[in-house]
Structure 1
Amino acid sequence: MALRVQFENNNEVGVFSKLTNKYCLVGFGATETFYSVFEAELSDIIPVVHASVADCRIIGRLTAGLLPHIIETEEIIHDVLKVEVFRRDVADQHLVGSYSVLSNQGALVHPKTSSQSQDELSALLQVPVVAGSVNRGSDVVGAGMVVNDWCAFCGLDTTSTELSVIESIFRITDAGPEAVRTTMKPSLIDTLA
């Protein structure tokens, strides 16, 4: 299910949270509303944790580790994740994390990404890729939403059409907590063991 939520009147959900298949980090806020939406949807499946980095609430933008300049990013990713690494841009934008959102089910990229680039990305990632927006046309989709394999959270300004595209590309329309428990939880447990 894709849900609309705001962080203190801000629709940039991806700036204040980080969602994975194993955990969810949520920045501290003046109210518990933002956190409680994540907790209500996810706490039966994965831990939802209040977090900050250096007393900053923008947890979604500060959760990437800093790398030494002498080591290539591709080398570290390849060594740790044991996957092939490609250097790409999205719609001529080099901030790939700001202009795309990925899960094991699909990818949403900058609305001006060409069909050819979408096809190339789809072949590289082995998931369907579609160009789209969040929060009434915002092209910064990485800041406007977070997603894992069964749930997505978007800003309150996200239109019904945008929400429909998100649910479709990430295949989360019918994925509820029960579906996660029966189909995904065993594999999550295997990876943690």
Structure 2
Amino acid sequence: MIRTLNIYDNPVIGVFATCTENAAIVPYGTGENIVKSLNEYLDVDVFSTLISGSVVVGSLSCGNSSGLLVPRQSSLPGLIGSDIPIVEVPGNLTAMGNNILVNDSAALVNPELTDGAIEVISRALNVDVHRGTIAGVKTVGMAAVATNRGLLVHPRINQHELARLEDVFNLPIEVGTVNYGSQVVGSGVLANSKGYVAGSETTGHELGRIEDALMN
């Protein structure tokens, strides 16, 4: 089973899409074959939308089984009438998917997020929220992927950050890359506890590491 694909002919699928245990959110214009693959591999309903007119849905949003976080004053026409709770996060850091790493039990966020934003995130997603970095990167949502079974993280994570992640998520952690060597693994993987997909340039060795990290 080939678990690689593109969105808009681009392998950085984590920039364009996001997923939870229950849903995947993709931009308008995503091919029907891609929607079908996401439905099959992740065992989720797939919704198409734009976030305030933008196709970078994965950079601007993220969530878990409790809800979906978006920037304040966002419009999401494709999600009107869906049963997905949508919560707007205040503040100037609008790229929720870039700045938040979350599963159903915990979240690590950009240290620059305000106390008010963290309070909203915690309440909306029903998780404890912690500030931190991964490999010195503040945009932790791009530097790692988290499911309810494990984490795949940037290969240059340091021991202090690794210990912090282990304490926050209490899950196995593996380092890896995507898309033929990209260290920002969040940009190239969509995953939940039921499955995963990666960008089309991801090698067989990288796919093995992703599976070890997120599925075992």
User: One-letter code of the match for 2:8?
Assistant: E
Structure 1 counterpart SS, 2:155: coil
2: distance between equivalents of 1:168 and 1:62? 28
May I ask how many residue pairs the two structures share in their alignment? 170
- Residues 132-154 of structure 1 show CA distances to partners (whole Å, capped at 9, x for unaligned) of 11001101111111100111110
Matched, 1:153 2:197: yes
Using the size of structure 2 for normalisation, the TM-score is: 0.70
- Residues 43-98 of structure 1 show CA distances to partners (whole Å, capped at 9, x for unaligned) of xx431112222332221112242333475222223333443321100110100111
- Residues 160-185 of structure 1 show CA distances to partners (whole Å, capped at 9, x for unaligned) of 1110111111126xxxxxxxxxxxxx
Percent of residue pairs identical = 29
Report the equivalent of 2:98.
none
Report the equivalent of 2:141.
97
Report the equivalent of 1:191.
none
Q: CA RMSD in A?
A: 2.2
Structure 2 counterpart SS, 1:24: strand
2: distance between equivalents of 1:53 and 1:144? 20
2: distance between equivalents of 1:124 and 1:142? 18
Shift of 1:157: 0.8
Structure 1 counterpart SS, 2:124: helix
1: distance between equivalents of 2:214 and 2:134? 18
Compared CA separation, residues 81 and 11, structure 1 to 2 (3 A): closer
1: distance between equivalents of 2:18 and 2:188? 12
Compared CA separation, residues 162 and 22, structure 1 to 2 (3 A): same
2: distance between equivalents of 1:117 and 1:14? 22
Report the equivalent of 1:167.
211
Shift of 1:30: 6.4
Structure 1 counterpart SS, 2:3: strand
Shift of 1:107: 0.7
Q: Could you list the runs of 5+ residues in structure 1 that have no partner in the other structure? A: 173-193
Structure 1 counterpart SS, 2:70: coil
> Whose strand proportion is higher, 1 or 2?
2
Using the size of structure 1 for normalisation, the TM-score is: 0.78
* 88-97 vs 61-70, greater mean Cα deviation: 61-70
Matched, 1:35 2:40: no
2: distance between equivalents of 1:97 and 1:128? 17
Structure 2 counterpart SS, 1:86: strand
User: One-letter code of the match for 2:6?
Assistant: Q
Compared CA separation, residues 171 and 142, structure 1 to 2 (3 A): same
Compared CA separation, residues 30 and 76, structure 1 to 2 (3 A): closer
Shift of 1:117: 2.4
> Counterparts of 1:1-193 in structure 2 under 5 Å?
3-29=3-29, 31-42=31-42, 45-63=43-61, 64-66=69-71, 67-69=89-91, 72-171=116-215
Compared CA separation, residues 83 and 33, structure 1 to 2 (3 A): closer
